[in-house]
DNA sequence: AATTTTCCCGCAAACGATTGCAGTAACTAT
DNA sequence: ATAGTTACTGCAATCGTTTGCGGGAAAATT
């Protein structure tokens, strides 16, 4: 493909001056006579000159670009955080390149490698479901490439992250269910090796413990967030000899599917089974019954992730920092059982 | 920032050979002695050499990258098409850069300019809501940069596009409502200048005409897809002296909000008002009542868009091609009124 | 008038790769 | 022994910018 775009050299030849003068003129640097500056501007305009970003980046070895890697663009939570990341990055003069891993470890490794080869100045990553070892991330640290994790993090990695207190959030949600009179609590969790899922299960357990409620392993079931799997998880719970009267799901995706399953069985929510979910997606309002859910500070999360990253990029301060943001339980119909006074 | 990444030159110096030999060795080109090839490989491994993509792209003036511009990452439809676009691109050896415009014309112009400056080899674009003139797109054509539009297109632009037959789809949905006994039909549309919205309204009108039903302008209302606006649109319809008994909404986002509004008013769906919506998002199943909706071929859309783009990139065939894909009406509860036999 | 200062501008190297062409050494054929 | 291949490897240009340094002409100072 012949590149039919105009270059700085063409402008230079056309005006009989050197490329350096053109370069300086275009960028408004001093030491350029107004006339030549105007002439350059005019010709550039006429030829619709657009600087070649590749060449620019190469010589400055700075791309003013950050890479963002998420499991799935399709998830409301991720696409929303992405929006705030882009917003914050843009304000700081950075642009972002977005990649998805489809929850695959291999893709994650690949995407990150590509981003690094494209010389992004830093990475904001939410780990894939299948990621269980972290050599690729550690390599980034060794190479001193700024990284920030958000949401899907790992305890093994001592790097900057912005997360929420999943244990506490799940604890509060479970506590809320208990206070609404639930005695037999179940938890629909995500994949077994997913830290945030396990943290939420931990919070769930903690609440049971505090209120002296028994914990039965069969009341905690693991799935992959898919609709089919989540519904199955719900059906299995209902098929237990002594079905639960309260459910915590660690994601709205799971929650909606589970509620759908309950509805199919004709189970009344919240009367027979109460439920609280995670993420507080807009659809929580639309569901019948509306879904109680834990709201994550999506806006803030993106903003803080970018801040943390820029700090690393600009100050080269390699001290890992963890920002733990607050969640908020939004109570709606799905958990509002009438509590008998006594 | 000192670039502490290893370059081809360092390897060359370390081995006392030239950079060209290293380059050739690394890429498996012929005419390299096995020993030197191995030596190069070994050193590259040790130093964890990663090629600088910027330099590579510059010299080859080919980035193997396509840019995708969508209004909002947050919309299920767009994020899903993105997934299939990325999939198809990846298979063809291209990577994608994703940008969003937040429905703003200015951002669209900016994002496209950035992508072009970064030398993407082609663009797949879904126009922003606020885009009413197309100079920036025409400029791309003049510069012979391959472009494909999808979904949000424009009749003014004579370029490749992959769309659905919105008029027909809306016609069929409206026809379905009529066949379920609706007499007073309304349409909740999007912004006034949005082509796909207007096309759907046109299909709506066509159906009314065919079945000799009156068309009242006040039964067509325009909004911006937001929850608040959409609910307001629905309330306004219900406040009419003679409220509709059937509604077509041109997007699930509008549809869900409208249904929510109807529920708040205690209106029975589909008995009092039946409804069909557009996009067939997964939530359609979860809503109570479940929402009849027109399914768009999301997978295919992305795939075809990439195909059309690659055709332009590789063959340099500038003949614009329009691919019109089929939609499918998925009937669920929200439109299934009992029809009296006579 | 001579010197200094100011104002512009160009040369050439650099960023990190790729690539056409030329060149050297070893090997084969005569 | 000489010429002709073959097998490698290096030189240097190139991609499109940026930038340090140096230099010449005009303007200002003495």
The answer to whether the CB of A292 falls within 8 A of the CB of A332 is yes
Q: How far apart are the C-alpha atoms of B202 and B217, rounded to whole Å? A: 12
Q: Which nucleotides of D are covered by protein (CB under 7 A)?
A: 7-12, 14-20
Residue A268 has pLDDT above 50, yes or no: yes
The answer to whether the CB of A334 falls within 8 A of the CB of A292 is yes
Residues in chain B: 342
Q: How far is the CA of B143 from the C1' of D22 (A)?
A: 40
Taking only Cα atoms into account, the Rg of chain A, rounded to an integer number of angstroms, comes to 26
The answer to whether the CB of A196 falls within 8 A of the CB of A279 is no
Answering whether pTM is above 0.85, one says yes
Which nucleotide lies closest to A37 by the C1' atom and the CA atom?
Answer: C8
Q: How far is CA A193 from CA A51, A128, B19, in A?
A: 47, 11, 45
Q: How far apart are the C-alpha atoms of A308 and A317, rounded to whole Å? A: 10
Kindly give, in sequence order, each residue whose CB lies less than 8 Å from that of residue A176, ignoring residues fewer than 6 positions away.
A276, A292, A329, A331, A335
Q: How far apart are the C-alpha atoms of B265 and B272, rounded to whole Å? A: 12
**What average pLDDT does the structure give for chain A?**
94
Closest-approach residue (CA) in chain A for B79: A74
Q: What is the pLDDT of residue A314?
A: 86
The answer to whether the CB of A98 falls within 8 A of the CB of A137 is no
Instruction: pLDDT band for B30, please (50, 70, 90 cuts).
Output: confident
Q: How much is the average pLDDT of A39-62?
A: 95
Q: What is the pLDDT of residue B316?
A: 67
Partners of residue B4 in chain A, C-beta under 8 Å: 143-144
Q: Which element (helix H / strand E) includes B236?
A: helix B227-239
Nucleic strand D under 7 Å from the C-beta of A297? no
Express each pLDDT in A280-338 by its tens digit: 999 999 999 999 999 999 999 999 999 999 999 987 667 899 999 999 999 999 999 88
User: In this structure, is the dihedral angle defined by the CA atoms of residues A212, A216, A217 and A219, taken in order, positive or negative?
Assistant: negative
The answer to whether the CB of A292 falls within 8 A of the CB of A264 is no
Express each pLDDT in A154-208 by its tens digit: 999 999 999 999 999 999 999 999 999 999 999 999 999 999 999 999 999 999 9
Residue B226 has pLDDT above 60, yes or no: yes
SS3 label, residue B103: coil
Which pair of tokens denotes residue A161?
Answer: 């992250």
Rounded to an integer, what is the distance from CA B9 to the centroid of its chain?
Answer: 43
Q: How far is the CA of B29 from the C1' of C16 (A)?
A: 19
DSSP secondary-structure letter at A23?
H
Q: How much is the average pLDDT of B107-127?
A: 96
Express each pLDDT in A62-109 by its tens digit: 999 999 999 999 899 999 999 999 999 999 999 999 999 999 999 999
Residue B338 has pLDDT above 90, yes or no: no
Q: Which element (helix H / strand E) includes B99?
A: strand B95-100
Q: Closest Cα of chain A to B215: distance in Å? A: 30
Nucleic strand D under 7 Å from the C-beta of A1? no
Closest-approach residue (CA) in chain B for A289: B288
Q: What is the pLDDT of residue A65?
A: 95
Residue A342 has pLDDT above 70, yes or no: no
CB atoms closer than 10 angstroms to residue B33? 10
HEC string for A89-131? HHHCCCEEEEEECCCCHHHHHHHHHHHHHCCCCEEEECCCCCC
**What average pLDDT does the structure give for chain B?**
94
Query: Percent of chain B having pLDDT more than 70?
Result: 98
Q: How much is the average pLDDT of B125-134?
A: 95
Q: How much is the average pLDDT of A235-253?
A: 96
Which nucleotide lies closest to B52 by the C1' atom and the CA atom?
Answer: C16
Query: Given an 8 Å threshold on Cβ–Cβ distance, is B54 in contact with A119?
Result: yes
Residue B342 has pLDDT above 70, yes or no: no
Express each pLDDT in A9-30 by its tens digit: 999 999 999 999 999 999 999 8
SS3 label, residue B65: strand
The answer to whether the CB of B92 falls within 8 A of the CB of B62 is no
Residue A245 has pLDDT above 80, yes or no: yes
Q: How far is the CA of B54 from the C1' of C25 (A)?
A: 37
Q: What is the pLDDT of residue B318?
A: 73
Alpha helices in chain A (DSSP H): 8-15, 19-26, 34-46, 53-60, 76-91, 105-117, 135-142, 166-179, 195-210, 227-239, 252-264, 283-286, 298-315
The answer to whether the CB of A67 falls within 8 A of the CB of A117 is no
């Amino acid at each position: 493909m012949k590149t039919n775009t105009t270059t700085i050299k063409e402008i230079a030849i056309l005006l009989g001056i050197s490329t350096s003068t053109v370069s300086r003129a275009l960028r408004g640097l001093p030491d350029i006579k107004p006339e030549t500056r105007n002439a350059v501007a005019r010709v550039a305009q006429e030829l619709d000159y657009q600087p070649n970003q590749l060449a620019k980046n190469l010589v400055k070895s700075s791309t003013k670009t950050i890479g963002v890697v998420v499991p799935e663009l399709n998830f409301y939570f991720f696409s929303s955080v992405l929006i705030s990341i882009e917003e914050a990055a843009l304000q700081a003069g950075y642009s972002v390149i977005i990649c998805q891993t489809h929850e695959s470890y291999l893709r994650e490794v690949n995407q990150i490698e590509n981003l690094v080869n494209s010389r992004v100045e830093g990475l904001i990553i939410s780990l894939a479901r299948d990621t269980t070892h972290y050599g690729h991330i550690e390599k980034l640290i060794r190479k001193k490439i700024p990284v920030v994790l958000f949401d899907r993090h790992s305890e093994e990695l001592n790097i900057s992250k912005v997360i929420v207190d999943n244990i506490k959030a799940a604890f509060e949600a479970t506590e809320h269910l208990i206070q609404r009179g639930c005695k037999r609590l179940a938890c629909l969790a995500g994949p077994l090796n997913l830290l945030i899922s396990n943290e939420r299960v931990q919070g769930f357990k903690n609440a049971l413990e505090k209120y002296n409620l028994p914990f039965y392993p069969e009341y905690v079931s693991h799935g992959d967030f898919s609709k089919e799997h989540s519904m199955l998880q719900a059906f299995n719970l209902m098929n237990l000899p002594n079905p639960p009267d309260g459910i915590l799901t660690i994601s709205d995706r799971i929650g909606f599917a589970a509620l759908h399953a309950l509805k199919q069985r004709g189970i009344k929510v919240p009367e027979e089974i109460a439920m609280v979910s995670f993420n507080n997606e807009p659809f929580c309002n639309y569901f019948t019954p509306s879904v109680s859910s834990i709201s994550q500070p999506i806006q803030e999360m993106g903003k803080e992730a970018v801040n943390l990253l820029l700090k690393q990029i600009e100050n080269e301060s390699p001290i890992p920092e963890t920002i733990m943001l607050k969640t908020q339980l939004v109570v709606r119909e799905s958990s509002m059982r009438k509590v008998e006074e006594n």
